[in-house]
Structures are given as structure tokens and as C-alpha cells.
Amino acid sequence: MSTHTDAIPRRLVPFITAQGLKGNLSALPLPELLIQLRRSLSTGILSVESEGTRKAIYFHNGRVVFATSNSPNDRLGETLLRLGKISVEEYEMSLQQISHGRRQGKVLIEMGAMAPQDLWEGVETQCREIVFSLFEWSAGEFVFESTTLPQKEKVTVSFDPLMLVLEGLRRIDPEGALKGRYPDPGLILECIKDIDQTGLEPFEKHILAFVDGRRSVAEICRESEIGDGETQKTLYALFCGGFLRVRGRKLRAVGAAPGRDVTESALDAYNSMYSYIYRYLLREIGPEADTTLQGAVSELHATGGIMTSCRVTKGGIIDPPPLLAAISAVPEADRSLQLTNTLNEILYAMLFAVRKTIGADHEANILKALRPDSMLIEV
């Protein structure tokens, strides 16, 4: 995989090293990493380690061709046992005969314990399960190194990472490690035209049918028959796979919802915009998005007033309690104007930070997404 900054998305730049890519799955999850390696037709080894467990995925021209693990549960013999291809007695007997570099699969075939096609099926299942197990990891140091693959692996596979991503995400708990990467409820998504939907399950096509460029993620969840969590997870899978893209954002008009204060509603509306900016920046530059936006807002504290109570939390939003407490001390006649001015200053500061960090074109893209005709504001 090329390490030139113009050859890969800007968001991957923080993960570039002289050897390839390096980082943590908490900042760049496995599904997004697999899709990028697929798109760049990479050849090399993706290694991931957490708490002493090490797993590796081998790529050739963007396809997964092998996987290894130091976890006993991931070994070929254990996989063949789970598949019912061999008995416990045959498994133990094969272990006794492994010597001088002989592979367990070859020993089992020579013993007559299984047929050659069973070996290939076992290796395919073993590799897939190693990959799928990494979807459950919330963190783990990864390194991708572009290198010639070892020649000792004679029984290999050929998997499309896109299909692995779709199947891997189908398996995981929607409330699990990847929940923080799901599309924001206020986003409006649209389908990529003429994309091949081969490999999608009926429930995924069910969700895709609701994506019309006007419904928000929250509205799609309400329309869906599979529940909010599974719907958001499916939208994330379709977004990772390139079936969807962001068209804009839907916001409620700034005003008091039933039983809510106008100030809270206004802050919710602006936080929705801040969150969009954060997610956009996160896609482009990775974990530096947090410090970039926090720094932009902290520079405004010198202006005094209620601005000193504004703190950017994880996800790019302003922490409500300190700001709401500060605005409540402002005379009621001045409260709305001061709040609006403060929230607008934060918005401008974040947009300026985007321009400085990744360029005016990206700032324009965000402004286009946030403009009223793209947001389809509800009243």
C-alpha cells in the first residue's frame, strides 16, 4: 500500500509510517481498514495485537488470502473439530504425529481422517473466523506492512474484504464495540447509483430501500422493521461498503419542543451541526479531530462571558450542563441573543479549523451539507 498522502484518504494520514499503516482499532476500526486495503489493492500483512493475543490477515492485490492467530481456539485442528470433520481421538492422534514441519492438515489426510476438500473447507472457515473475531475488538494495536507474502502457506483462500465486512457486521452485537461509528441520527443518506448489490441480504436491501436522499437516519430507523440498533449497524455496513454516502443533515428548527426549554433546543440543534463537523473531520484526519476542534473552541475562551463555559466533549459537541448553567445567569431579555452569538462563534471557529486543517473545499462541503435546503429543516 502506498504511503504517499495523495494516494490514500486524508483521514488515514495520521496512521502512516515508513513501513505502512500503524494505529489502534479504537481510532480506525477493522471494517474501515479492510475496505481501504481492498480499495488500494494492497499486498501485505495486517497484524493486530491486544493483551497478548496476536492475529494477522494476509492480503494480495486487495483480497484476503490467509489469516493466523496465536489463540489456541483459532488453530486449524480446533476448527476442524468444531466443523465435525474429525473426532477428538483423530485430533489427538494427529498432534502426536506432527514433527519436522509437517502440517496437521496433511497428517489428518494421510491418516484417512478426512478428505482433501475437508482441509480446504477447514482453512477457509479458520481464516474467516479469525477475521470475524477482530470485529469484536474495541481496541488493539494494528500494523499493516506492504511486503511479499510468505511462500510456506500452500493452502490459501481468496476472500473479497467487502463480503467479509458485510458478514462480520451482521454477526456483531449492535450495542458492541462499533456503536460509536454508526451514522449520526440527523444525517441524510443517499444511495450510490448503479452499484452492484450482489451479496446483500434481504434485510439489507430492505434498509437500502428507505435511503432516498430525504429521510434521516432517525427516520429510517422508525420505518425499519429490524429495530434501531440493527438498522444503524446495517447503515454503517452499507456506508463502509460504499453503497451509501452523506447527502446532508436534517435538523429541527430552533425552538422549544414540548416540555423543553428553548435554550436546550437551541443547544441541541447546534450540537447536531458540531457533531456533523466532528464526524466529517474524523473521517479525514482520524483521532486528531478531537484536539483540532477542542483547540478551536478553547481559543474563544479569551472573549469571556458564557463562552468560558463552553467545553468540547468527545464527538465534537458542547457539554450542555456548564453552558446551560451559565446562560441561566444572564438576564432573560439578553439570553437568546447571547446564546445565539456564542453558538455561532463556535460554529465559525470549527469551520475555520476545518479550512486550516484540510482545506477550503472541505469547508465548502460541510457548509453545503448544513445549509437549509440540504438539511430539510423540520418545523
Is the residue at 177 inside a domain? Answer: no
Do 283 and 368 lie in one domain? The reply is yes
Q: For residue range 202-261, list pLDDT tens digits in order.
A: 999 999 999 998 888 989 999 999 999 999 999 999 999 999 988 776 654 444 444 445
Distance of CA 52 to the CA centre of its chain: 24
With 90 as the cut, is the pLDDT of residue 8 above it? Answer: no
- Written as nine digits, the cell of 289 is 479531530
Q: For residue range 15-28, list pLDDT tens digits in order.
A: 777 667 889 998 88
In the block, residue with C-alpha cell 515508513: 18
Do 140 and 196 lie in one domain? The reply is no
Last residue of a domain, one of 219, 249, 279: 249
Do 150 and 47 lie in one domain? The reply is yes
Do 116 and 49 lie in one domain? The reply is yes
Going by the DSSP 8-state scheme, the letter that residue 184 receives in this structure is P
Domain span holding position 108 = 10-168
Last residue of a domain, one of 134, 168, 202: 168
Q: What are phi and psi of 18, to 5 degrees?
A: -65, -30
Last residue of a domain, one of 249, 279, 307: 249
Number of domains the chain is built from: 3
Q: In the structure, what pLDDT confidence band is assigned to residue 55 with cuts at 50, 70 and 90?
A: very high
Q: For residue range 57-113, list pLDDT tens digits in order.
A: 999 999 999 999 999 999 999 999 999 999 999 988 888 888 666 788 888 988 898
Is the residue at 173 inside a domain? Answer: no
Is the residue at 174 inside a domain? Answer: no
Q: Is residue 300 within 8 Å of residue 29, measured between CB atoms?
A: no
Is the residue at 254 inside a domain? Answer: no
Cα dihedral angle (15, 21, 22, 23), rounded to 10 degrees?
Answer: 50
Q: In the structure, what pLDDT confidence band is assigned to residue 376 with cuts at 50, 70 and 90?
A: very low
* Residue 217, domain CATH: 1.10.10.10
Do 365 and 318 lie in one domain? The reply is yes
Do 120 and 201 lie in one domain? The reply is no
Do 30 and 60 lie in one domain? The reply is yes
DSSP states of 334-369: HHHHHHHHHHHHHHHHHHHHHHHHH-HHHHHHHHHH
Q: In the structure, what pLDDT confidence band is assigned to residue 9 with cuts at 50, 70 and 90?
A: low
Q: What is the pLDDT of residue 131?
A: 97
Distance CA 177, CA 121 (A): 29
Do 160 and 188 lie in one domain? The reply is no
Do 140 and 217 lie in one domain? The reply is no
Q: What is the pLDDT of residue 7?
A: 52
Q: Is residue 204 within 8 Å of residue 265, measured between CB atoms?
A: no
Is the residue at 1 inside a domain? Answer: no
Is the residue at 237 inside a domain? Answer: yes
Instruction: Average the pLDDT over each of 164-168, 334-338, 345-349 and give the range with the smallest value.
Output: 334-338
Mean of pLDDT values over 36-52: 93
In the block, residue with C-alpha cell 495486517: 46
Higher pLDDT, residue 198 or 3: 198
Amino acid at 74: D
Mean pLDDT computed over every residue of the chain = 86
**% of residues, the chain, pLDDT over 70:** 88
Q: What is the pLDDT of residue 193?
A: 87
- Written as nine digits, the cell of 106 is 496433511
DSSP states of 256-303: PPTTS-HHHHHHHHHHHHHHHHHHHHHHHHTTHHHHHHHHHHHGGGGG
Q: Is 145 exposed, middle or buried (0-12, 13-18, 19+ CB in 10 A)?
A: middle
Instruction: Average the pLDDT over each of 145-149, 216-220, 296-300 and give the range with the smallest value.
Output: 145-149
Is the residue at 304 inside a domain? Answer: yes
Q: In the structure, what pLDDT confidence band is assigned to residue 1 with cuts at 50, 70 and 90?
A: very low
Do 132 and 31 lie in one domain? The reply is yes
Q: What is the pLDDT of residue 100?
A: 62
| Cβ-Cβ contacts under 8 Å for 73 (sequence gap 6 or more) | none
Do 238 and 280 lie in one domain? The reply is no
Instruction: Average the pLDDT over each of 1-5, 45-49, 260-264, 337-341 and give the range with the smallest value.
Output: 1-5
Is the residue at 284 inside a domain? Answer: yes
Do 290 and 208 lie in one domain? The reply is no
Mean of pLDDT values over 146-175: 88
